[in-house]
Structure 1
Amino acid sequence: MTVLTVQDLGVRIGARTIVDGVSFEVAREQTVGIVGESGSGKTMTVLAATGLLDAPGARVSGSSTLGGDEPVQLVGASPRTLRSVHGSRIGFVFQDPGTSLNPLLTLERQITESLETHRRVTRREAQARALELLDAVGLPEPSTRLHAYPHQLSGGQRQRVMIAIALACDPELLIADEPTTALDVTTQAQIIELVRTLQRDFGTAVVWISHDLGVIGQVADEVTVLREGGVVEQAPILDVFDRPRDDYTRDLLAARPVLNASGPQPVPDADPLLEVDGLDVSFTVSTPVGRSTIHAVKDVSLRVRRGTTLGLVGESGSGKSTVAAALTGLAKPDRGTATLAGADIFGVRRADVKALRRRIGLVFQDPFSSLNPRARVESSVAEPLAVHRLADGAAARRARVAELLDLVGLPAEFAQRYPHELSGGQRQRVSIARALAAEPDLLILDEATASLDVSVQARVLGLLARLQDELGLAYLLIGHDLAVIRQLSHDVLVMRDGEVVENRPAEELFSSPEHEYTRALLAAVPPVRPRAAV
């Protein structure tokens, strides 16, 4: 039975066409994957098809019919009609559960809301159903979590709650919009398997949106590839992987980071640049039962050799970013030593802090929030030059900014643009240029490609490899995706619950992992072949 039929869907905002003539169908127990880069129209297509599009001046054409015993035309439907199907017949799981969940309401209230609205059940019945759903999505200790708030859960747990809310009324259709993009690989694998299990148990039809064909290969039966709002390819998943017809689809497949790709050449005689021994970091936080101490990093030791990359990998909450925060002065260590080319990082004199900090650059995961939205690119990149007095006068700074932009592959005219005028990949290149402005010895990359499309990620990783060869940079590459870590790293350190579980040369670790946790991380990476081929 066809659950959703979309025909010749179009979206225009002003004079611009955002979605152009998109058609697809999804049947009961089927998953349709919609894939493409940012700006391809994936999310806009699904929002328009389900009646959620609320952009000023938007005009939607074509048709979108929710099938079943009571067919509903969603394009042009009244608000009352849409309210009756959203949450009841159509469930939604969005990319960021942190912004989708209400921080002021308990999990119980957020799950029972749609039940009380659409199913007219009693409060007791709704509570029992909420408990059943939390258990079904695999949330630990569901009975004690009912009265918890979203901030008390991890990212993966919040996404499980989002799925529970979406499935509360047994919807015929589930919309999953990049539901695993921000999650580590093990949690991503669990969420994928969870949705497949629930789909099998409840017969739900799924539309799964993603920029990553590796993820789509693990969930989808049919694939629609979008580019600039139009369909460039539409076929069963095996045909897309084995016989892609469009060059754009082939480019997306080629851009996926895969574990069996070769990494950088070993550098056996490189001297240590950064040396950390016995690092401990703890935080005091407030909890419902009083103040508590979180031991985030426990006795961590590591080495980053000159001109090489150390990959620091682990799940969310493993302590990776806390190590970076301690090295850059954003967190105070409780114990341990750290030296950069022999200079003490933790015990540096106040007068020498500025000079030492210049030698360590930091690139964050989200370039949009790390760049000043009110400052032009030129101003953001030139700031380290002025602070560290690396260029005398405005003319010299402008010339150096142009050199840095050229170094990261951006035209000089980008200096006059604001962050909102750039794509995600371009903003990350600006962030790298700003980090390089201070001419650092070590660059810390904290999930620097995690939020990028796979094609943009591939270009940024290629840029980082080129800069390392040309400038002799050392990288501390922090990430949860072992396929990305494999591509750049000479050595790999694996963390779990604040502790080091494995620290070895990359070639050895990937060919014969010793620790069970490392093997679990490797097993969670989406394989090259789609699930349908197994």
Structure 2
Amino acid sequence: MTVLKVSDLGVSIGARTIVDAVSFTVDREQTVGIVGESGSGKTMTVLAATGLLDAPGARVSGSSTLTADSAASVQLVGASPKMLRSVHGARIGFVFQDPGTSLNPLLTLERQITESLQTHRKLTRRAATSRALELLEAVGLPDPQTRLHAYPHQLSGGQRQRVMIAIALACDPELLIADEPTTALDVTTQAQIIELVRALQRDFGTAVVWISHDLGVIGQVADEVTVMRDGLTVEQATILEVFERPHEQYTRDLLASRPVLDGSGPPAVADAETLLRVTELDVRYAVTTPLGRTTVHAVDNVSFEIRRGTTLGLVGESGSGKSTVAAALTGLATPDRGTATLDGTDVFGVRGAAARALRRRIGLVFQDPFSSLNPRARVDSSISEPLTVHKLVDGKAARGKRVGELLDLVGLPAAFAHRYPHELSGGQRQRVSIARALAAEPELLILDEATASLDVSVQARVLELLARLQRELGLTYLLIGHDLAVIRQLSHDVLVMRDGAVVESRPAADLFTSPQHEYTRALLAAVPPVTPRAAV
């Protein structure tokens, strides 16, 4: 039975057409995947189809009909606010990308789950609380009885997403909208959320629309796929047809961009000397909790080496301590114990002018280029700042020339120097961040989840850029990530961390061929396979 039928849906804002003539249907117990890069119109399509679009001046055309056995059909395009309030939460559940912004930080989990039950199902507070407990158990949240009274900040990202799913399913909706629900999560948590949604779909018969930029994820959840680009439907077929016989070049490009584990790593570097040596690094943080002050052992006795001209992949889930290692090496965190030397220079012990000189030798690229770039500064100003601070060039003309060279190095036109960050795409902003990090001519470049927030196609291009820069400039990388498929593409050696400690450290070829630790095997198993689930 068809649950949602969308026909010739269009969205325009002013004179600009955002979505043009998109059509698809979703049946009971079926998952339809909508895939495309950022800006393709996939989220705008679903918001318009479900009556959630609230952009000033937006006009929605076409038809979007919600149907069911037990309730009247509802035309969602042009529906009144009263009608939409009766449908949202009751017949349509929503799970968005970032549960941290979707959940109310001031309300307990119990209050947030019971709200829709009391509003739409008219349950008493006691009955709603009992149902909320059942939902938290169904989504696999640990210790659900205690967590009912917890606040969102007391949960991990994966746990918050499970709560969002519980809220979305509270009233047994006919349709679940999942908008990039796993993009911000670790690969292991992503795999758990995918299995959770599939299990709940089997139990409740829910129809699902799953939005993603990653065809690897879509391959594990969807029965049918709509591929979008620039607001248009590029391709529409079953998941097997899209994977095995894609008709459009854009679809083939998306498939080719997926990070997969069967690809080869970088060429071996023979007889390379050690550039960075870290020994018995220990970092602790004092934090305040509802139960009082406590100490978090973020990094526990971590040791490793990085050879000059090679890449060490540092991998682990959120909270494993990998970013704290980067913070200690760049002076953003103070270690409690341990040593680090960069080509013989003490990283933790230098002060004054020597410390400033050392900082120039270690570059850092963050995960989110939009927040790491000054929104009020033009590209040339952001890139030239290290040149001025470290007095690497003299004069405005020399700085401008060097900025042009750095932009060319990362594959951007010189004209981009006069743009602001909001005028660039995500991939272009990350290239600017890399150019800024390279301005100081560092020996070691730390890449802290530098591609995690990018579309897979953009991610692939940035990874190719980093590989080229390493070959041409002899750069040394500390590549931090949670996705072993990405780590595989650049890394010569791999260090796996969990709960602040090292669980496995080996050459990349050995680790990917025969992982020794159970946790490493779990990370490898969580990477979406090349073939879709339907083919298994």
TM-score w.r.t. structure 1 length? Answer: 1.00
Compute the displacement of 1:12 (Å).
0.3
1:173-210 deviations in Å (ceiling 9; x for gaps) = 00000000011110000000000000000000000000
Aligned match of 2:291: 289
Q: 1:356 aligns with which of 337, 355, 358?
A: 358
Q: Percent identity between the aligned chains?
A: 84
Deviation at 1:268, TM superposition (A): 3.0
**Secondary structure in structure 2 of the residue aligned to 1:275:** strand
Q: Secondary structure at the match of 2:176?
A: strand
Equivalent position of 1:12 in the other structure = 12
How far is 1:395 from its partner? Answer: 1.1
Give 1:394 shift: 1.1
User: Which amino acid is the alignment partner of residue 436 of structure 1?
Assistant: L
Structure 2 residue corresponding to 1:133, chosen from 135, 139, 146: 135
Distance 1:477 1:235 in 2: 37
Q: How do 1:204-283 and structure 2 match up within 5 A?
A: 204-283=206-285
Counterpart residue identity of residue 529, structure 2: P
Aligned to 1:238, what secondary structure does the other structure show? helix
Please, which of 467, 470, 487 is the counterpart of residue 469 of structure 2? 467
Offset from partner CA, 1:103-152 (integer Å, 9 cap, x none):
11111111111111111111111111111111111111011111111111
Query: Which of 489, 514, 523 is equivalent to 1:512?
Result: 514
Q: Which deviates more, 262-271 or 229-238?
A: 262-271
Q: Residue 27 in 1 paired to residue 27 in 2?
A: yes
In 2, Cα distance between equivalents of 1:97 and 1:358 = 37
Q: Which amino acid aligns with 1:26?
A: V
User: Which residue is equivalent to 1:65?
Assistant: 65
Q: Find out whether 1:46 has 2:46 as its counterpart.
A: yes
Equivalent position to 1:394, from 377, 393, 396: 396
Matched residue, 2:121: 119
In the TM superposition, what is the alpha-carbon distance from 1:463 to its structure 2 partner?
Answer: 0.1
Aligned to 2:328: 326
* Match of residue 74, structure 1, among 60, 73, 76: 76
The CA deviation string for residues 496-525 of structure 1, in whole angstroms up to 9 with x for no partner, is 110001000000000000111101110111
Q: Distance in 2 between matches of 1:31 and 1:261?
A: 29
> In the alignment, residue 61 of structure 2 is paired with which amino acid?
S
State how far apart, in whole Å, the 2-side matches of 1:436 and 1:413 are: 19
| 1:305 to 2:333 alignment | no
Which amino acid is the alignment partner of residue 528 of structure 1? V
524-533 or 260-269: bigger deviation: 260-269
Q: Could you tell me which amino acid in structure 2 is paired with residue 200 of structure 1? A: R
d(CA) in 1 for partners of 2:387, 2:240: 52
1:190 to 176, 189, 192: 192
Letter in 2 for 1:60: V
From 413, 416, 423, the equivalent of 1:421 is 423
Q: C-alpha distance in 1, partners of 2:351/2:44?
A: 53
1:347 aligns with 2:343: no
Instruction: Provide the TM-score with structure 2 as the length reference.
Output: 0.99
Taking the aligned partners of 2:4 and 2:257, their CA distance within structure 1 comes to 31
| Deviation of the 1:350 alpha carbon | 2.4
Confirm whether residue 157 of structure 1 aligns to residue 159 of structure 2.
Answer: yes
Aligned to 1:406: 408
CA distance in 2: counterparts of 1:94 and 1:357, whole angstroms: 39
- Provide the alpha-carbon RMSD of the alignment: 0.6
The question of 1:447 aligning with 2:454 is answered: no
Alignment correspondent of 1:523: 525
Q: Deviations over 1:450-500 (max 9, x none)?
A: 010111000000000000001000000000000000000000000011000
- CA offset digits 1:415-464 (Å, max 9, x no partner): 11000000000000000000000000000000000010111000000000
Displacement of 1:212 in angstroms is 0.2
Q: Which runs of 5+ in 1 are unaligned?
A: none
Shift of 1:351: 2.8
How far apart are the structure 2 equivalents of 1:266 and 1:479?
21
Please give the secondary structure, in 1, of the residue aligned with 2:487. helix
For residues 518 and 86 of structure 2, what CA distance do their matches in structure 1 show? 48
Q: How far apart in 1 are the matches of 2:39 and 2:146?
A: 41
Question: In 2, Cα distance between the equivalents of 1:80 and 1:395?
Answer: 62
Matched position secondary structure for 1:257: coil
Distance 2:525 2:33 in 1: 23
2:440 aligned with 1:434, yes or no?
no
For the residue of structure 1 that corresponds to 2:26, the secondary structure is strand
Distance 1:285 1:47 in 2: 39
Q: CA deviation at 1:363?
A: 0.4
Name the SS of the counterpart of 2:461 in structure 1. helix
SS in 2 for 1:383: helix
Aligned residues: 534
How far does residue 349 in structure 1 lie from its aligned partner after superposition?
2.1
Give, in angstroms, the shift of residue 167 of structure 1: 0.6
